Amino acid sequence: GDSVTQTEGLVTLTEGLPVMLNCTYQSTYSPFLFWYVQHLNEAPKLLLKSFTDNKRPEHQGFHATLHKSSSSFHLQKSSAQLSDSALYYCALRLSNTGYQNFYFGKGTSLTVIP
Amino acid sequence: NAGVIQTPRHKVTGKGQEATLWCEPISGHSAVFWYRQTIVQGLEFLTYFRNQAPIDDSGMPKERFSAQMPNQSHSTLKIQSTQPQDSAVYLCASSLASQNTLYFGAGTRLSVL
């Protein structure tokens, strides 16, 4: 079935170090991939989404590349900031039907320490 | 634009009682989703409406959970005979049919004692 796997439940990093949060997926169709971020006591909100033309999406210093060969959409940032501490969800949406369901991974909690 | 509005923000019920959660999607959004959020399972899909019609309820525990969307401005999620394992944050999200973006509400934290 269609699913998303985030292998790390908890990640703790020192400020200034690079960030990489893993996301792999299984999909019967060519999917759209997303990263959502949820700060403490806030609603999840969209951080990044994949493009159909293989451009690399970027936002707030974060970027992710959709690799269909490895079914991955890892989230990366060159230098972690304290304000990046949050819960990050990778999500998948099936694209070749009118069906609009979004499948989410279990999330990765990122804590950035000074 | 007030965003997706969920009420109440917190609800405490006793085991066996009923809980009704409300969601007002962003005006003009034709798709409404319900998710359950826990630390262990993350964001679990429950159900989805498009233009008020139920499209997929495959994530709903069948016996005690039900959802309706009687008009385009609100949806409800009802849990009958609540159990402690129902304790979670219930998130509602809406989107435009033409967009690939979900807009989430702040959620309702349900605590079943």
> CATH number for the domain including A67?
2.60.40.10
Long-range CB pairs of A63-68, under 8 A, 24+ apart, other chains included: A64/A23, A64/A33, A64/A35, A66/A33, A68/A30
**What's the rounded Cα separation, in Å, for the pair A105 and B105?**
19
Alpha helices in A1-114 (DSSP H): none
Residue A95 has pLDDT above 70, yes or no: no
List of residues 6+ apart from A56 with CB closer than 8 A: A63, A64, A65
Tokens of A56: 């690399």
Size of interface A-B (CB pairs under 8 A): 54
**What's the rounded Cα separation, in Å, for the pair A108 and B43?**
11
**What's the rounded Cα separation, in Å, for the pair A72 and B76?**
35
**What's the rounded Cα separation, in Å, for the pair B27 and B13?**
30
Residues B54-58, mean pLDDT to the nearest whole number: 89
In CATH terms, the superfamily for domain B5-96 is: Immunoglobulins (2.60.40.10)
Tokens of B71: 């008009």
Interface probe, candidates B39, B44, B102, chain A, greatest A C-beta count within 10 A = B102
Looking at the structure of chain A, the number of domains it has is 1
Nearest to A106 among B42, B55, B106 (CB): B42
Q: What is the nearest CA distance from A10 to chain B, expressed in angstroms? A: 11
Residues of chain B with pLDDT > 70, as a percent, come to 99
Contact (CB<8Å) A99/B42: no
Contact (CB<8Å) A103/B45: yes
**What digits encode the pLDDT tens for the residues B65-75?**
999 999 999 99
3-state secondary structure of B46: strand
Residues of chain A with pLDDT > 70, as a percent, come to 90
Residues A92-98, mean pLDDT to the nearest whole number: 68
- Domain holding A88, by residue range, is 3-113
Q: Which amino acid type is present at position B97?
A: A
Cα distances (angstroms) measured from residue B19 to each of A67, B38, B57, B62, B66 = 43, 18, 18, 15, 11
Confidence of residue A54 (pLDDT cuts 50, 70, 90): low
